[in-house]
Structure 1
């Protein structure tokens, strides 16, 4: 028998009983069958069977880190959010980067948008800012989101991602042309999580102390500089080091090279939204900087790695409905859908009490509410506290302080299309993005699009997609069409 050293901790079962032998199962005699009474063996195997939880339907493959946000510029004229209330104020945060479409074991260097989710542990509760490394997205209505993701995921029959599905969906979604141009361009494969920007992507709403409101878009600009991989580099790295981005983030923080981003915002006075030349709540479009210049807010620094990737990264839960006073949602339809979908996904994956997990729980304040019981409920409640409101026993009460000013709405409930603005077509911003590219960038963009589109089996699907690129820019469409024909003739 091996005796523990005086300084060693004794191995125990989950109930705290000491484990006598962790090398040999209990058997009926030497060489006999294992007996059912071996509680330690049964407990280990049962726990092992349950070590994994359902992976995220999207953003399954991810990495995370802790850090802080420091305010560098006064924005109190635009929002009453306490964590933005004073220059020099610091707030602890956790961030999770991710790919979108692939499974948990997918490569980091895939051509895919990257999730960019930040949890600010503020003194008024956790504020989750859930975005991507692109300022736009493929669709503008959440009703299409399950269909979009199904088209990008593994086909239920072949069990693999199919170009026919990917491009067929895009053929029927002309609004995706802008994001497709982003994705297939040079920024479609970041060299690392440190070398990419992050965007809130959606339009949000800030309200100041006087009750005036501004629609806002968030831009996290990397201070490491933008670095990207070519399609060939991404394919090679995916094969040689599928964990490339995880390794880079982990090692950079461990050696004290702390990545940072500068946060800027675009601010639109609420009254200007209705008459803006395109729908400002359309997630497939950006606000031109000449209309709404970037305004610096602060600096985000990542300086600590998680101790346990499963507990802190896999179980981290972000939801865009986690607001704080001074910040609220806009009428952005995709955001409105995600206000429900994100939190519901975590209730499914992690349980109704996932907000009590250390990575998700408030840190600068405490959660006070009447939620009780459910799977994995803790005992972190006041003794004898009531579970209803109002009550006469000193339970928590409402603040009477709205998170944001009321948003005026009118009309009849129904399945309405988005309100029409003068410049609300699906292609002009994709064309503007194309025309901003250098000749080398255009060549790589054309090659990336044609490489996938040329694999599509149906000519009518190819033609529909080509029409989108022609509508964005005649040269753009002609070059994609010529490259597709060339590849299909080979």
Structure 2
């Protein structure tokens, strides 16, 4: 039976067979508003996607981690009331998990792939998780497209291999990916180690201060070891000789007492600036140019203690962008909104409903007080205490104060595209990034992209992919087209 015999004709449907009207945009409360729980297609896709593999993570399966400290170096109380950021010199214990995205648990470290940068702060107000990458942007701007995107990066259901046709078909049909793909195939696409790369919160988050004022922020973690990358040739050799290269380097550097560290910076945007900003500040495929909002140093992150058991502390560690503390909250970023559901759902399936009770995941500087009981691997910690609220038996009570400030939402519900601001398009920042590169880096970028596009079997898929880079910069597209043609003979 041929592959074509398995193709299903007709409209895209839900699992229940109902036709899908819009598979590109999540349903929101007005244009630019938060995503609605009533968007059952979004929830169905994300929930199904989270359960497609057992027991390893569907994405970010290959990882390493370490404990350390975050130290505040600047006063940020005018912007946030978060207790762990309340005074200069204050230290908070952290756990940081690095990872690749596409590879499985046994894959090599030295590959061209984004790197996860998932950070857990064990604060006195509960755990705060910041789930980011080593790039400031991402491939897509709406979580409803995430399962489709990852399917193109994983093994094809027919061939069992990653297929260039799938990868470039999706990227070509999703031009918002052009910026991130330019990052991925640039010199920083293969870090030499986890220590020699930056980290980014990537998403936009809300900070709010004691007076209730709101600010939008982006996090940057600048490596103090300096940026160091691998060429494709170096990576190919290392991946074959030592698949565990990044994990080994991190562990051994800490064993030697050479503790890796990062200077922590934030970009801060007053809430009133967001509506009129030239780029949509909540679009994950865009950066805030530094000339608009210069990064401000706020702290230092150091890793200084290795896990004693990789499975217990790295594989069973869980991170969720929904884990906020007072003074920090979400933004209308549609990728972030989807991840607020998807990460917790993935952990409840993969590790279990009581994953938060494990030593690496539970709060270290305070105590979790909930009414959740029972479930797989429940340890009985609550004894006979009542499991409802309010109660008359001294149980925990609500505070009445939200962790973050409310944001306005108006307009009809519907599957709205992400709002477009004055200078928004899918190519402008990719073109800017290309033009900032030295000539030698441009040559390596074009060569890397050409090598990845040349194996595509269908001409229209290759041309559409090249066309996106041509729209970013005419010289970029012209050189890429010539390089692909040369490889194809």
TM-score by length of 1: 0.89
Q: Give, in whole Å, the separation in 1 of the partners of 2:384 and 2:425.
A: 59
Partner of 1:99: 100
Q: Give, in whole Å, the separation in 1 of the partners of 2:434 and 2:419.
A: 27
Q: After superposition, where does 1:310-329 map in structure 2 within 5 Å? A: 310-329=311-330
Q: Give, in whole Å, the separation in 2 of the partners of 1:232 and 1:484.
A: 19
List alignment gaps of at least 5 residues for structure 2: 1-52
Q: Give, in whole Å, the separation in 2 of the partners of 1:419 and 1:469.
A: 23
TM-align CA RMSD? 0.8
List alignment gaps of at least 5 residues for structure 1: 1-51
Q: Give, in whole Å, the separation in 2 of the partners of 1:380 and 1:302.
A: 31
Partner of 2:414: 414
Q: Give, in whole Å, the separation in 2 of the partners of 1:119 and 1:318.
A: 7
Q: After superposition, where does 1:235-384 map in structure 2 within 5 Å? A: 235-381=236-382, 383-384=383-384
Q: Give, in whole Å, the separation in 2 of the partners of 1:94 and 1:255.
A: 19
Partner of 2:427: 427
Q: Give, in whole Å, the separation in 2 of the partners of 1:459 and 1:404.
A: 50
Q: Give, in whole Å, the separation in 2 of the partners of 1:53 and 1:374.
A: 19
Partner of 2:216: 215
Equivalent residues of 2:374, 2:380 under 8 A apart = no
Q: After superposition, where does 1:214-233 map in structure 2 within 5 Å? A: 214-233=215-234
Q: Give, in whole Å, the separation in 1 of the partners of 2:431 and 2:395.
A: 57
Q: Give, in whole Å, the separation in 1 of the partners of 2:333 and 2:260.
A: 31
Q: Give, in whole Å, the separation in 1 of the partners of 2:235 and 2:157.
A: 26
Q: Give, in whole Å, the separation in 1 of the partners of 2:397 and 2:123.
A: 20
Equivalent residues of 2:278, 2:423 under 8 A apart = yes
Partner of 2:129: 128
Superimposed CA distance per residue, residues 97-136 of structure 1 (whole angstroms, 9 cap, x where no aligned partner): 0000111111000100000000000000000000000000
Equivalent residues of 2:207, 2:328 under 8 A apart = yes
Partner of 1:16: none
Partner of 2:437: 437
Q: CA deviation at 1:53?
A: 6.1
Q: CA deviation at 1:94?
A: 0.2
Q: Give, in whole Å, the separation in 1 of the partners of 2:280 and 2:290.
A: 16
Stretch of structure 1 that moved more, 121-130 or 414-423: 414-423
Superimposed CA distance per residue, residues 56-115 of structure 1 (whole angstroms, 9 cap, x where no aligned partner): 000000000000000000000000000000000000000000000111111000100000
Q: Give, in whole Å, the separation in 1 of the partners of 2:72 and 2:118.
A: 19
Q: CA deviation at 1:420?
A: 2.1
Partner of 2:465: 465
Partner of 1:166: 167
Equivalent residues of 1:201, 1:283 under 8 A apart = yes
Q: Give, in whole Å, the separation in 1 of the partners of 2:335 and 2:384.
A: 42
Partner of 1:386: 386
Q: Give, in whole Å, the separation in 2 of the partners of 1:417 and 1:194.
A: 38
Q: Give, in whole Å, the separation in 2 of the partners of 1:413 and 1:92.
A: 42
TM-score by length of 2: 0.89
Q: Give, in whole Å, the separation in 1 of the partners of 2:187 and 2:284.
A: 21
Partner of 1:149: 150
Q: Is 1:89 aligned with 2:90? A: yes
The aligned length equals: 437
Superimposed CA distance per residue, residues 359-380 of structure 1 (whole angstroms, 9 cap, x where no aligned partner): 0000000000100000000121
Partner of 2:193: 192
Q: Give, in whole Å, the separation in 1 of the partners of 2:300 and 2:384.
A: 44
Partner of 1:5: none
Equivalent residues of 1:53, 1:350 under 8 A apart = no
Q: Give, in whole Å, the separation in 2 of the partners of 1:384 and 1:248.
A: 47
Q: Give, in whole Å, the separation in 2 of the partners of 1:399 and 1:224.
A: 43
Q: Give, in whole Å, the separation in 1 of the partners of 2:437 and 2:141.
A: 25
